[in-house]
Structure 1
């Protein structure tokens, strides 16, 4: 049919699909994906070469889950990512030794690739883990037609990759901080000699005595070491021959032992996953609390089902809130759920006014779930920046004044649509160390006190133009990094209003989120607002943003404070208890006093799912759930 022959309603629909990114050269994403799945190149790009078919049983239609990522991935190489958008994908491609029971509340750790819980010595410095038999990588050309088993050495190799200087991993500091004996020495040797990292050199801290046994030796007691082995998105097994086969393109060819594999990828636009035909025999099981009616009902419905229950997951990058919301309403996206593809905040009060699902959505059978997340929204100050960085009294006063000048309650009411609570520190809800009763200056809005601080420390309007200068008389202007999406413009307006009210000029540096993250890691941003989510039970992981040795990685602010680092190191070796809680409190107070971060809020999430998505429970940590839900095709509208 020619464009001229289309009816007005058809033209409107076609324009809407194009705006949503759901048309590719005149074809819907579903059609383009179907062409890719059958090996027929289309405008969306050909499917990755991946071996045999990975689809539903013969004669059965594929079950497809369609989601919308709210920002593009940066890479799919676990050693080179830190953003939750990429990690939400790798979570389902790789499989760690351990993970969290998806129905247990509070969360409980259980084996994944491991045969059982680890053995350890009394000092918590030596851990032995045995692998389940019968685990294989997804088919890939790197294996030259062979079915490649998972081996213990693959985990040793995966951990080493994080500290190889060539990989420039943003998490190398976090991995070194685990304390594997000899691992830091391997990195130092590569840096000193300028030679390639020696993966073949054995170290005491990471051993694979045989194909099914791992032995970890730590340089200090680590009572919570098990939590370091729970991240499928980062710490799954990696086959060395895959990395060597793809070289510097490894970020485009993730190959793991998890439930899914990538079959199609159009960077920053579309990713399709299909079930890994070599995935181990894994069956739905969980341990919800006895009084957890919802969890018990899910267990009764799905217990014993082979995982994954869904054959294919399609991810479209839709950054703007309105197109993402429309794509859900028009059933082109099946769920807006978890932080990576959550409900656009602009439409939260349309979907769930007063926290209750809107009648028109309830009539359609849509599920609405509201939760307080283990996360925060925060702004970091680059401590090496000549304007906002530094540890002298006037620099600390400037950051604290800016923090006091930010009207968080207004931010929650207007930009966040009421979907948050003010934060008092970096430690996140649902993690150890979080205290709902803790109160600090971080949670205060006091512009009068902010202006008094600025006056006291020499940030004055010397020339009478209405704007303050630095104590040495030079102009004072903040450069705030931001993104081009509509929701960011709302936050920018609030920033400008708050900071201008203190007599400080503001300009904005706009770029896409992955570009800003790259610049932040390199120390090239002065100030940026972003979010942070917990990936484990222990709240110390959120304090890593203040830990000196992780500057440029988790510590985007590049904060360095000897007493804080001493506290952080001491906390790692202590068991949970009153002494460790006292150190949590002192660490939080140091963070508030020096203000390398202004922690704005802890956020609520609103998850919406169409009635054909069944079995969803929002993860507390990480973002693994695609393989744990089912699609009831009888409830999905027919095309």
Structure 2
């Protein structure tokens, strides 16, 4: 191979044929290059064919120093040996970026308010494009379904490597499923997205770059799950197999030699005991044992890897083996380092944003903060855009409360309807959302598909305090002692001690709703707690009133129906019916038997998930799901309001988000590996 220079343009000659260097195209200026098979990205061969060019690669000049910060990594081979044979070519939005810089981020705590920052470095097999409609390849090179959605075949990129340089292959996908997800010693109970028709899938490595998911029931939403969630359906087998009892007879001994009780305990030190990605790493939990562990953190495919962790925050450096390049051949990410600081106090977080100490933030920035943020944009050198949200603050009562008198009342749909119509959503909209929101009832689907009758979005949501009082009387919740406040049917006091977190919901909303309920005779006191305190108490079944933002698009429900079965969401969200869930998971041996409508809801969910999207069966099942969920008023909707997205003006290639929602995994559709920092 030899280089030629013709009229100032570099060409590369292969076997006598001259090929121009590839054009540095951007979304803003495609320079005549046609669209690829998927928006804003190409596979390497596809891009070279479109441009009639041959790509040469370049790397971050600091990548060697950054790699030196990753404990356990050896010296770096040449870039060509670190990239896949066919890397993903990402088209930057506005400009080819510059390497370097530290992105400063804020979170509440180790596992609180972290998902917007986690989504900056996140990757998955697939991704939603920024139109929030088109699924595109990411870690995977391609995929195909069989005709009835019972077999998904995924093709990986040849030569793809983990952040420590070890090969990433189909064996890592099989390991994730068989030895982590389906091993009850690691994750106690399989997640809904990991099952099809309630039964495990068969995950097979056909060859090193081909993996096949075989399902006992159709599940077209499986690709959705591997596109919009934080769940990564692969983990580094080479890193864990020495300590996994199912894979190594000496696993427990190997772990005990490092000070762990057994192999599973060591695995959970890295992977946690769930599928959530921001559990504390051994850097925070291992103490003196850290020096003996294989590495400070497990290898990743993400754009950045964790290298430091304390109770005050985390620090990340660029993954030297990241699989993406820009159209000029520069290995991504552009940003060299990321720094995450924990600030549990909302007012302190807001002050840091106003002062321009943060480069990007969207989670936990409530709309009530927008005026002061907007007022200080120029001074703080940042931009705030108020964008639509998918989820809305949603309230529930604990239908399996330990107090049997309260449990009986909370299980009465008449009581729940009374508490819903007692809420002045118009006032909530004006005070909390500055009139920019939409009052609504919770129906499960968000946004509402056209095939769901619009009337459900206002079911039992019209403000009517007199009707609320009548319904409370019917539920037996009456004022027995004449003090103006209602008691339980037994005569015991009914005071709702409402604990809430402002991570997802502004305090003003809780204050107004509490006053609405007190006004109809149900005395309600409120107390702000941290998100960790709220989640812990909710999981322990000790709360009466529960609240968090809730909502899910129709497409994602195809793959994950967690919000439709007890306890009706995951650990990080609003849940109710904890003892119903325990009854179901124990096959009736423990917990409390749920009412019949819960089983009906699950049956319709199964039909919805196994039917072709848009088919008559799918639509009919969705309509029944909404009829039950909204009809039971198990969760009470409030208002759907937009929320702020904040970024420094030094952060480049940041597009306008279509939504700032967790439900499309926040930042992930907007390709943050091509963000870059200027001075």
Q: TM-score, normalised by structure 2?
A: 0.68
Choose the corresponding residue for 2:181, options 162, 165, 170: 162
Aligned-pair CA distance for 1:167: 3.5
Q: CA deviation at 1:368?
A: 3.2
Range with bigger deviation, 525-534 or 86-95: 86-95
Deviation, structure 1 residue 226? 1.4
1:630 and 2:630 aligned: no
1:609 matches 2:647: yes
- Determine the structure 1 residue equivalent to 2:619: 581
Selected match of 2:145 from 117, 120, 140: 120
Whether 1:572 aligns to 2:609 is: yes
Cα deviation, residue 39, structure 1: 12
**How does 1:53-202 map onto structure 2 within 5 Å?**
62-69=100-107, 71-74=108-111, 85-91=113-119, 95-102=123-130, 105-116=131-142, 118-139=143-164, 147-160=165-178, 161-168=180-187, 172-179=190-197, 183=200
Distance change (3 Å), C-alpha of 1:66 and 1:551: closer
- Is the aligned partner of 1:498 residue 2:536? no
- Does the CA contact (< 8 Å) of 1:423 and 1:601 recur in 2? yes
1:523 aligns with 2:567: no
Distance in 2 (alpha carbons) for counterparts of 1:330 and 1:451 = 48
**Deviation string for 1:399-435 (max 9, x for gaps)?**
2211211222222322344453223334454575686
**What is the alpha-carbon distance in structure 2 between the residues aligned to residue 548 and residue 271 of structure 1?**
34
In the alignment, structure 1 residue 376 sits paired with structure 2 residue 399: no
Structure 2 alignment gaps of length 5 or more: 1-61, 80-97, 244-254, 256-265, 273-280, 282-296, 581-593
Q: Which residue of 2 aligns with 1:423?
A: 440
On the 8 A contact 1:322/1:344 being kept in 2, the answer is no
Secondary structure, in 3 states, of the residue corresponding to 1:123?
coil
Following TM superposition, by how much is the alpha carbon of 1:176 offset from its aligned partner in structure 2, in angstroms? 4.3
| Corresponding position of 2:631 | 593
CA contact 1:405–1:499 (8 Å) conserved in 2 = yes
Counterpart mapping for 1:367-446 below 5 A: 367-385=383-401, 386=403, 395-418=412-435, 420-430=437-447, 432=449, 437-438=454-455, 439-446=457-464
For 1:473 and 1:310, how far apart are their aligned partners in 2?
Answer: 63
In structure 1, C-alpha distance between the alignment counterparts of 2:525 and 2:73, rounded to whole Å = 51
Q: Is the 8 A contact 2:446 2:554 kept in 1?
A: no
Number of aligned positions between the proteins: 519
Matches of 1:565 and 1:94, distance apart in 2: 31
| CA pair 467-444 structure 1, distance change in 2 beyond 3 A | same
Q: Alpha-carbon deviations, 1:37-70, whole Å to 9, x = none?
A: 9999xxxxxx77353699xx9xx9732211222x
Deviation at 1:367, TM superposition (A): 3.0
Distance 1:132 1:235, change over 3 A: same
- SS of the equivalent of 1:490 reads helix
For 2:210, the equivalent position in structure 1 comes to 213
CA deviations on 1:251-301 (whole Å, 9 max, x unpaired) are 41353112110112223x312221111112x134xxxxxxxxxxxxxxxxx
Aligned to 1:545: 563
How many angstroms apart in 2 are the aligned matches of 1:387 and 1:225? 40
Confirm or deny that 1:557 pairs with 2:585. no
Check whether the contact 1:95–1:256 (CA below 8 A) recurs between aligned residues: no
Relative distance call for 1:582 and 1:38 in structure 2 (3 A) is: closer
Can you list the C-alpha shifts for 1:364-420, whole angstroms capped at 9, x where unaligned? 764332221222211122221246876889721112211211222222322344453
Whether the 8 Å CA contact 1:129–1:214 is kept in 2: the answer is yes
How far 1:629 sits from its partner (Å)?
A: 4.2
Q: Distance in 2 between matches of 1:434 and 1:615?
A: 37
SS in structure 1 at match of 2:185: helix
Question: Given that residues 98 and 112 in structure 1 are in contact (C-alpha distance below 8 angstroms), is that contact kept between their aligned partners in structure 2?
Answer: yes
**Could you report, residue by residue, the CA deviation over 1:442-474 in whole angstroms, capped at 9, with x for unpaired residues?**
532221111100112221111112221112222
Structure 1 CA distance, aligned partners of 2:123 and 2:650?
Answer: 27
| Cα displacement string for residues 222-271 of structure 1 (whole angstroms, at most 9, x for unaligned residues) | 2332112225621242113544374331141353112110112223x312
| Alignment correspondent of 1:275 | 318
Structure 2 partner of 1:350: 372
8 Å Cα contact 2:428/2:639 also seen in 1:
no
- What SS is found at the alignment partner of 2:496? strand
**Structure 1's 154 and 509: CA in aligned 2 closer, same or farther, altered over 3 A?**
farther
The CA distance in 2 between the partners of 1:547 and 1:519, in whole Å, is 20
Distance 1:405 1:115 in 2: 52
Equivalent in 340, 343, 347 of residue 318 of structure 1 = 343
Where does structure 1 lack aligned partners over 5 or more consecutive residues? 1-33, 41-46, 75-82, 140-146, 184-203, 285-301, 353-357
Give me the whole-angstrom Cα distance separating, in 2, the residues matched to 1:486 and 1:233: 18
Which of 451, 466, 472 is the aligned partner of 2:484? Answer: 466
Compute the RMSD of aligned alpha carbons: 3.6
- SS of match in other structure, 1:571: helix
Structure 1 residue 609, shift from structure 2 partner = 2.2
Distance 1:421 1:506 in 2: 25
1:622 Cα deviation after fit: 0.6
What is the alpha-carbon distance in structure 1 between the residues aligned to residue 316 and residue 102 of structure 2?
Answer: 10
Whole-angstrom distance in 2 between the partners of 1:413 and 1:149: 55
Distance 1:156 1:433, change over 3 A: farther
- Relative to structure 1, the CA distance from residue 38 to residue 152 in structure 2 (aligned partners, 3 Å threshold; closer, same or farther) is closer
Instruction: Choose from 458, 462, 478 the match for 2:496.
Output: 478
Are residues 579 and 61 of structure 1, via their aligned partners in 2, closer, same or farther at CA, if it must alter by over 3 Å? closer
* Equivalent in the alignment of 1:247: 267
How far apart, in 2, do the equivalents of 1:500 and 1:392 lie?
17
